[in-house]
Each structure stands twice: as structure tokens, then as C-alpha cells.
Amino acid sequence: MNRAELFDVRDYVAFITGAASGLGLAYAEVMAANGARVTLADSDAPALEKVLTRLRAAGMSVEGEVLDVADSAALRTAIDKTADGNGRLDAVFANVGISSGPGFEVAESGRIEALDPDMLQRVIDINLKASLYTIKFAAPHMKKRRSGSIVVTTSIAGIKAESVVGYPYIATKAAMTNVVRQAAVELAPHNIRVNAIAPGPFYTNIRGGVMFNDPDIVKRFEAMVPMGRCGQTDEIKGLALLLASPAGSYITGTVIPIDGGTTAR
């Protein structure tokens, strides 16, 4: 098998949440640039339309779904529409996620005694429940073809303590880390692979990009990373393509940090 065949996702059908910016957009770009038919789902309609226009102008096959992933019925409809409309569903990226604010090292609001029940519930709804439901709704379509790859964006904050991010974020990412392992074991007999990408600090739009507009917070993140910098979204594309493509055919149940060496410490 040559390089082109190993990473061949031509005519794959992919569904990606949180795809109008950041890591989700990077996933969409690499899949579409390599010939996949990609549905980008996001709650930000203007940003989504702008991205779709740019990708279509570059000759990519993309569709958009304006979607609040906390609405499980709408999420199911969007996944079913993508699968049924294309006759298959090959790759799903459960990517959407929100921040819960700074951790205790950064602000008083990040201390455990300041935990906000409303914030906790909102983060659970987006980071945990929506990702879990994405797997639930994708699996039946993939079972029909006995083939598929599901990739969940977790975080190194789901693997180790990260005092710069809030408790709800850490809790939900840790939960999804183990969901990925369990779903991988269940779905492996159906030739459906389930893996997690666990990013370290990346320049994304989480919290509206506020975190990376604060030089002090950027310095804190950079100090965590042995490579001495935060990641650029293009740097996650290779891993995403690996996990979605034939090159990753024997990879399942893994949680792969991509973090400039942070978890190696």
C-alpha cells in the first residue's frame, strides 16, 4: 500500500461538530482537501457560511448544518441527514466543546468552592452529553456498512491535572476519555474504530478566543509545554487524517495526546 492509498479518504462521508473554527475546522479542511464529502455542523451561522464559501471556492465538497449540539433531537437529525443523503457515513468527529472558565491557578472563580452549578450543567450538556450522543447516533449508520471511524476531541486536561482550566471542563473531558475506550471495545466487532485526540494548548476560538488574547495566560500555557509554544490548528490535521483513513485501520480505543510534549513531563 503506497502513501496515497494509506491516507485515501476520497468519497468518504464525514460529519464534524464545532466545525466553523478551530480544531473542528482543521478536521474539516484536511478531510475535504483529500476528497471527502464533509458536513460541517456549528451553532455560529455567519462563521459557518463564511467557511463554506471559502472551502467551496477551493473546490471542496462541503455542506453545512446550523446546529446546537445540546439539542439531541437536532443532532440526530443532522447525522441521519448526512448519512442517508450520501448513502454512507465513514468518519465522525465529535469535536464541539466549550470552556468552563479559568482554573484555580488563574482566578478565584476557578476554585472548587466557587463551582457554578449552571456552568457545570452547560459544560456537561455540550462536552459530555453531545459527544456521547454523537457516538450513539453515528454507530447505527456505520454498523450497516461494518466500517467507520469516530474521533472525539478530548483534552490532556482529561488525562492529568490542569490547574489553568476549570473543573467542569476537566470533569467532562476525563469522562469522555473513558467513554472512548468503552465504545471502542463495544464497536470493534462491527469494525468501527473509536479514538480520542487529546490536544494540549492550541490557538483556537474557545471562550471566544479570550484566553489567547491575554498575554499572561498565553505565557502560562507556553511554560507548560516543553516545545515552548502553543499549537497551531494546522498541526492537528495529520493526526485527524490518520485516524479517519485506512492508515489507522488497526487503531482503536486510543487517547492520543498532541501537546508539544506536555504529558511527557
Annotated catalytic residues are 169
Q: Could you give the strand order of the β-sheet that contains 91-94, starting from the edge strand earlier in sequence?
A: 62-66, 37-42, 13-17, 91-94, 148-153, 192-199, 255-258
Q: Do 8 and 86 form a contact (C-beta atoms < 8 A)?
A: no
Alpha-carbon distance 35 to 38, whole Å? 9
Alpha-carbon distance 125 to 194, whole Å? 21
Q: How far is CA 62 from CA 33, 47, 56, 65, 172, in A?
A: 10, 14, 7, 10, 30
Q: How far is CA 83 from CA 5, 46, 153, in A?
A: 24, 24, 21
Measured between its terminal Cα atoms, the distance across the chain in Å is 36
Residues in the chain: 265
- CB-based contacts of 245: which residues, under 8 Å, 6+ apart? 6, 7, 8, 9
What percent helix, strand, coil does the chain show, rounded to 5? 55, 15, 30
Q: Do 248 and 197 form a contact (C-beta atoms < 8 A)?
A: no
Q: What angle do CA 135, 174, 211 make, to 5 degrees?
A: 100
Work out the number of other CB atoms within 10 angstroms of the CB of residue 243. 24
